Chain A
């Protein structure tokens, strides 16, 4: 109940929005997620309680973009700083969603929420004020790449929400960067609605500083013939959860997901994905990679749900994990729940360390062990990084990762 009290007693919440009220009311019936449920049982309880320990903050400190501005034409948003927008160009328009549209959509979402599965969203929506809400409606063509930044401030709990409606036949590239500040908690919820024939290349890069925490939740609804490509990377968080829920609302849609989480020291980063096929001819190709070193813990749980209506679904899910230390731990649980009979579904999981034969080969060619390990790691990382829509000259993620490791 503490968290609810904290929200209620916060002066900044005197004028709550309708959504905040609904979510707070829902949270009251289960103030904390059930620690025995599949989605929360592996979550480190003390780390989670530290996440909630910071005082709620709605102020946003000055934000420094982590990489140089590109010469290329990009559109930038920093949630909390410039959420009021209206960009109407010849080919495209990016506008704020009207309050009615936003309320209607979010309420529909909340109606389908499960207390445990969407606990992070409920928390986010009950904390996130209008100021920290970026809700956009995008349509048109030849839209320049969009970058959206979200960040917390030290010694506080911040909540940021992003809602994007991608209208029919629209095609965008969107990079979302979540930055955790030292000793902070960030709650980020993202909602995407992809209308017919739309497509998005979505990148999520989240990294923190010392003792930062993150609850990152992503909800995507895909209408017919839409394509959703996600490349994600999470690292350097003391505690982070990335919860992905994708619903192909009437089938005939394509989803590609390539995600990676890297844990060191005593960090715990987990990824939960739930892909729901609600119509025929759905397609999914998913790969999730984890790397756990030192005394850290990496978790992946992915579920694919194929009801009877989703005939001719073609789904595959692969979980690849590298365990590099005697004290680190990896848990992975790819799962399939299938009722439709005319489907092709498969999943795979592997846990191992760096390939010794490959290392040996490289060493016989005069490459040092350190370099050889770096080479192997870079090929391991590269598959994911190349899927994140950010060009190398703007921000060399691989270099950043290899230097961190």
Chain B
């Protein structure tokens, strides 16, 4: 038998991104009403159509009920007790990184995010978002040479208004769900990517979200448009300081892929998960959806979810274009009192569309880890295929793993395959590794990494290494 105590005592690694940056910020008053929305819009000098978009969303939100079908147990959120706009004070216009507050640079430096010149060698362009605003975007000139637009969404509203007006809210409508409506009403910043026709983005694009303030929520919005025959790989990372209150993060991500375009969206989510008693942590209620509009277009989601006290997130693909492809690769790890309800929706609308779902859930401690997914074949999706695989691993006898796949088919000429399994770390394998002189901890970590291999293989190089390490750290002290 595995020595449970031994395993539970293995290093309890503190959350190393839990520091707070002491920086002067500009916050607006707590609460949510039309005036607050007007104020946010005014601060961001937005055009009228956007203010109307926000107000319409707010009206819809007021009429909606908070969803409870996921059965996530959390204290009711007081939406009037949240600051909807918080930004570090800085000079009006920044022409180079040198003008960014050194404290902010230091923050991102600590987080290992390459904003400063010497770190740019990594060849990843970064958009760093601190609380409600985007601080800096690197490699802009190089990207501009290829016609790629990569900037904060606020800048895009000013400089590429026609694209925003055309695409914003077309994938995730304001009335889509409770949290999407809230986001549409109060979104503060986020990233905007536009890849022109025929361009393969020369480098990976990345945005890094940091919540610094304990009483403000983060509501970012990301919009990625890939024109015909273009391709882009986008990475997203997130951290937050340790507070004993819960902070709300309700983001919306919209992806649009036209003919032959391909978008790969990778996330390593490591928001603060609360302490061992479940105090504090981020409520991560995110709506992510991609629309494969064009023929042969492809959207691939890969995610490693390790943080947040509660995650409610279903990155989805609407497969409209003929022969379009949707993919979802996910590793969700929960420990202590974390709850994760995550999965995907693959909606096959066009003919000959394909989708693949690979989901790996690992639950340890007293956590609850659920896969909830929908695969739907519409009446016109002839010749379409779906393959889903959901595996869960349970570590310890207090953790819970659930699988809820919803499958609906209205098209006889399509195939759907779904399989799921639940197991625990095999003692035989563990014994074998140990008998070869591999330390217990390392053996567990190797086996978890092997369990997640199908997903890690889909992550970009830098992320895969980070994800592997992250998982090992998170699991320490919980294997039993």
Our verdict on whether A and B bind, yes or no, reads yes
Q: Is the CB of B397 within 8 A of A308?
A: yes
Contact yes or no, A338 B422, CB < 8 A: yes
> Smallest Cβ distance from A161 to chain B, in angstroms?
32
Contact A353 B397 (CB under 8 A): no
**B404 and A335: CB pair below 8 A?**
yes
Beta-carbon contacts under 8 Å, B396-432 to A: 396-424
The answer to whether B402 touches A329, judged by C-beta atoms less than 8 angstroms apart, is no
Tell which of A328, A333, A351 touches B416, judged by Cβ atoms closer than 8 Å: A351
Taking the nearest CB of chain B, how far is it from the CB of A47, in angstroms?
18
A367 within 8 A of B: no
Residues of A within 8 A of B420 (CB): 334, 336, 346-348
CB–CB A308/B398 < 8 A: yes
CB distance from B377 to the nearest CB of A (A): 8
Asked if B161 is at the interface of the complex by the 8 Å CB criterion, the answer is: no
Indicate whether A331 sits within 8 Å of B422 (C-beta atoms), given known contacts A336-B401, A338-B401, A338-B402.
no
In the bound complex, residues from chain B placing their C-beta under 8 Å from that of A256 are: none
**A326-B411, A329-B410 known; A335+B397 contact, CB < 8 A:** no
Which of the listed residues A321, A333, A351 has the most CB atoms from chain B within 10 Å of its own CB? A351
User: Could you say which of B395, B414, B422 has the most chain A C-beta atoms within 10 Å of its C-beta?
Assistant: B422
Return chain A residues, CB-CB under 8 Å to B407: 330-333, 349, 351
Query: Does A324 interact with chain B (Cβ within 8 Å)?
Result: yes
Set of chain B residues within 8 Å of A332, measured between Cβ atoms: 407
Contact call A350/B415, Cβ cutoff below 8 A: yes
- A18 CB within 8 Å of chain B: no
A 319-362 contacts with B by CB, 8 A: 321, 323-353
Least CB separation from A318: chain B residue: B419
B397 touches which of A331, A334, A341 (Cβ 8 Å): A341
- In this assembly, does B334 line the interface, its C-beta being within 8 Å of a C-beta of chain A? no
**How distant is the Cα of A323 from the Cα of B423 in the complex, in angstroms?**
32
Report the nearest B residue to A340, measured CB to CB.
B397
B 214-249 to A, binary, CB cutoff 8 A, 1 in contact else 0: 000000000000000000000000000000000000
Task: Give the residues in chain A near B392, CB-CB below 8 Å.
Answer: 336, 338
- Contact present for B411 and A335 (CB under 8 Å): no
Give the CA-CA distance A350 to B405 in the complex, in Å: 12
Is the Cβ of A330 less than 8 Å from the Cβ of B418? Answer: no
Q: Is the CB of B419 within 8 A of A329?
A: no
Give the residue name and chain of the B residue nearest to A330 (CB). Answer: B409
Can you list, as one digit per residue, whether each of B450-479 has a CB less than 8 Å from chain A (1) or not (0)?
000000000000000000000000000000
Q: What residue of chain A has the Cβ atom nearest to residue B417's Cβ?
A: A350
Residue among A329, A338, A341, A349 with max Cβ neighbours from chain B (10 Å): A341
Q: Which residues of A contact B398 (CB under 8 A)?
A: 308, 339
B107 an interface residue at 8 Å Cβ cutoff?
A: no
Is B200's CB within 8 Å of the partner chain A?
no
Known contacts A334-B405, A338-B402; decide if A344 and B412 are in contact (CB<8 Å): no
Instruction: Name A285-300 residues within 8 Å CB distance of B.
Output: none
Known contacts A338-B392, A338-B394, A341-B424; is-contact A348 B418 (Cβ 8 Å): yes
Q: Chain A residues with Cβ under 8 A from B397's Cβ?
A: 308, 311, 339-342
Do A336 and B403 touch (CB < 8 A)?
A: yes
Interface of A: prevailing SS = strand
The answer to whether A323 touches B412 (Cβ under 8 A) is yes
Chain B residue at minimal CB-CB distance from A346: B421
Instruction: Give the distance to chain A from B447, nearest Cβ to Cβ, in Å.
Output: 14
- Among A331, A336, A337, max chain B CB count under 10 A is at A336
Complex alpha-carbon distance, A261 and B353, angstroms? 29
Contacts of A331 in B (CB 8 A): 406-408
Chain B minimum-CB-distance residue to A339:
B400
How many Å lie between the Cα of A248 and that of B198 in the bound state?
Answer: 61
Output the least CB separation between A328 and chain B (Å): 7
Given contacts A336-B402, A341-B394, A341-B395, A350 and B408 within 8 Å (CB-CB): no
A353 and B415 alpha carbons, distance in the complex (Å): 8
B379 at the interface (CB under 8 A from A): yes
Minimum Cβ distance to chain B for residue A39 (Å): 13
A323 touches B411 (CB 8 A): yes
Residue of A nearest to B385 (CB): A352
B404 touches A333 (CB 8 A): yes
- On whether the beta carbons of B400 and A333 are closer than 8 Å, the reply is no
Question: What separation, in Å, do the CA atoms of A339 and B413 have in the docked complex?
Answer: 38
Given A338-B392, A345-B422, A346-B420, the answer on whether A325 and B402 have CB atoms closer than 8 Å is: no
In the bound complex, what is the Cα–Cα distance between A333 and B400 (angstroms)?
19
Chain B min CB distance to A263 (Å): 13
Inter-chain CA distance A383–B405, complex, in Å, is 25
User: Assuming the A-B contacts A308-B397, A335-B403, A336-B403, are A346 and B422 also in contact, with contact meaning beta carbons closer than 8 angstroms in the complex?
Assistant: yes
Q: Please, how many angstroms separate the alpha-carbon atoms of A351 and B417 in the complex? A: 7
Measured CA separation A341–B409 after assembly (Å):
33
Are B421 and A349 closer than 8 Å at their CB atoms?
no
Q: Looking at the complex, which one of B394, B405, B408, B424 makes contact with A329 (CB distance below 8 Å)?
A: B408
Distance, CA A65 to CA B347, complexed state (A): 47
In the complex, A350 Cα to B420 Cα: how many Å? 12
Q: Are B412 and A339 within 8 A (Cβ)? A: no
The contact of B399 among A336, A341, A347, by CB within 8 Å, is A341
Pairwise interchain contact A329-B422, C-beta atoms closer than 8 A: no
Known: A347-B419, A347-B420, A348-B419. A353 touches B412 (CB 8 A): yes
* A349 CA to B404 CA, complexed, in Å: 12
How long is the Cα–Cα vector from A345 to B421 in the complex, in angstroms? 6
Question: By the criterion CB–CB under 8 Å, are B414 and A335 in contact?
Answer: no
Q: Give the chain A neighbours of B400 by CB distance below 8 A.
A: 337-339
B380 and chain A: residue at smallest CB distance? A326
Q: Are A349 and B418 in contact (CB under 8 A)?
A: yes
Question: Considering the complex, which residues of chain B in the window 282-311 have a beta carbon less than 8 Å from any beta carbon of chain A?
Answer: none
What is the chain B residue whose CB lies nearest that of A36?
B69
Q: Report the bound CA distance from A100 to B400 in whole Å.
A: 41
Q: Across the two chains, which residue of chain B brings its CB closest to A299?
A: B408
User: Considering the chains assembled together, what is the distance between the CA atoms of A173 and B135 in angstroms?
Assistant: 74
In chain B, positions 45-65 with a C-beta closer than 8 Å to chain A are none
Residue of B nearest to A313 (CB): B422
Q: What chain A residues lie within 8 Å of B419 (beta carbons)? A: 346-349
In the bound complex, residues from chain B placing their C-beta under 8 Å from that of A337 are: 400, 402
Give bound CA distance, A343 to B405, whole Å.
20
16 contacts between A and B (CB under 8 A): A323-B409, A323-B410, A323-B412, A331-B408, A336-B401, A338-B392, A339-B399, A340-B397, A341-B399, A342-B397, A343-B424, A348-B417, A349-B407, A351-B377, A352-B416, A353-B413
Using a CB–CB cutoff of 8 Å, the interface residues on chain A facing chain B are 308, 311, 321, 323-353
Question: Closest 9 CB pairs between A and B?
Answer: A341-B394, A346-B421, A349-B418, A351-B416, A345-B422, A323-B412, A348-B419, A336-B403, A339-B400
A344-B421, A349-B407 given; 6 more Cβ-contact pairs under 8 Å: A326-B379, A336-B420, A343-B422, A346-B419, A348-B420, A351-B377
